[in-house]
Amino acid sequence: MLPGPRRGSGRLPLRPAATTALKRVLTSALAVIALLLGTTAPASHAAAAAPDFRVIAFYSGTWDAAHIDFDKEANDWFPKTAAANNFTYTATTNWDLLANGGVDAYDVVLFLDDAPQTSAQRAGFERYMRGGGAWLGFHVSAFTTDASSWDWYYNQFLGSGNFRSNTWGPTTALLRTENGTHPAAASLPATWTSAVSEWYAWSNNLRANPSIKVLASVDPASFPLGSDPDQAWYSGDYPIIWTNTQYRMLYANFGHNAMNYSTNTRTSSTFASATQNRMLVDALKWLGNAPATSDPWYSLTSQANGLCVDARAAATANGTAIQQYSCNGTTAQHFRLTATDSGYVRLAARNNPDQVVDVTGVSTADNAPLQLWAYGGGANQQWRPVAEANGAQHFVARHSGKCLTVATTAATNSVQLVQRTCDNSAAQSFRLTAQP
SS3 412: coil
d(CA 49, CA 46): 7
My answer on whether 302 and 156 are in the same domain is no
From 256, 287, 318, the end of a domain falls on 287
My answer on whether 410 and 304 are in the same domain is yes
My answer on whether 240 and 313 are in the same domain is no
| Best CA proximity match to 60, nearest among 124, 149, 121, 107 | 121
Task: Using alpha carbons, list the distances in angstroms from residue 178 to 27, 112, 421.
Answer: 49, 24, 38
Answer yes or no: is pLDDT of 14 > 60.
no
My answer on whether 149 and 107 are in the same domain is yes
Q: What share of the chain has pLDDT > 90, as a percent?
A: 77
Answer yes or no: is pLDDT of 5 > 80.
no
From 238, 268, 287, the end of a domain falls on 287
Residue 94 in any domain: the answer is yes
Residues 6 or more apart whose CB falls under 8 angstroms from that of 169 comprise 198, 226, 227, 228, 258
Average pLDDT over residues 408-427: 97
Which residue(s) pair with 401 in the sheet? none
My answer on whether 255 and 124 are in the same domain is yes
d(CA 30, CA 43): 10
pLDDT digits (tens, 9 = 90+) for 357-385: 999 999 999 999 999 999 988 999 999 99
pLDDT at 429: 97
pLDDT digits (tens, 9 = 90+) for 112-169: 999 999 999 999 999 999 999 999 999 999 999 999 999 999 999 999 999 999 999 9
pLDDT digits (tens, 9 = 90+) for 331-363: 999 999 988 877 889 999 999 988 999 999 999
366 within 8 A of 358, measured Cβ to Cβ = no
Give the CATH number of the domain where residue 241 resides: 3.40.50.880
pLDDT at 391: 85
For the chain, give the mean pLDDT: 88
Question: At 287, which helix (H) or strand (E)?
Answer: helix 274-287
| Best CA proximity match to 183, nearest among 57, 347, 297, 294 | 294
Average pLDDT over residues 63-72: 92
pTM assigned to the model: 0.64
Residue 26 in any domain: the answer is no
pLDDT digits (tens, 9 = 90+) for 69-114: 999 999 999 999 999 889 999 999 999 999 999 999 999 999 999 9
Residue 32 in any domain: the answer is no
My answer on whether 302 and 278 are in the same domain is no
DSSP state of 109: E
pLDDT at 294: 67
Count of domains in the chain?
2
Residue 125 in any domain: the answer is yes
My answer on whether 228 and 123 are in the same domain is yes
Average pLDDT over residues 214-241: 96
Residue 176 in any domain: the answer is yes
My answer on whether 301 and 334 are in the same domain is yes
Please count the other Cβ atoms lying within 10 Å of the Cβ belonging to residue 198.
Answer: 25
Q: Residue 363 half-sphere exposure, CB side, CA atoms within 13 Å?
A: 16
Residue 270 in any domain: the answer is yes
My answer on whether 273 and 303 are in the same domain is no
| Best CA proximity match to 242, nearest among 290, 175, 304, 298 | 175
My answer on whether 239 and 378 are in the same domain is no
My answer on whether 192 and 329 are in the same domain is no
Residue 410 in any domain: the answer is yes
pLDDT at 34: 38
pLDDT at 388: 86
d(CA 241, CA 214): 6
DSSP string spanning 24-93?
A: HHHHHHHHHHHHHHT-PPPPPGGGSPPPSEEEEEE----S-HHHHHHHHHHHHHHHHHHHHHTEEEEEES
Domain of 322 in residue numbering reads as 297-435
Query: Dihedral through CA 185, CA 186, CA 191, CA 197, nearest 10?
Result: -30
pLDDT at 141: 97
My answer on whether 186 and 304 are in the same domain is no
Give the CATH number of the domain where residue 333 resides: 2.80.10.50
d(CA 335, CA 337): 7
Task: Using alpha carbons, list the distances in angstroms from residue 319 to 139, 374, 430.
Answer: 38, 9, 23
d(CA 43, CA 242): 42
pLDDT digits (tens, 9 = 90+) for 237-288: 999 999 999 999 999 999 999 999 999 999 999 998 888 998 999 999 999 9
Of the pLDDT bands very low, low, confident and very high (cuts 50, 70, 90), residue 16 is very low
pLDDT at 18: 38
Of the pLDDT bands very low, low, confident and very high (cuts 50, 70, 90), residue 181 is confident
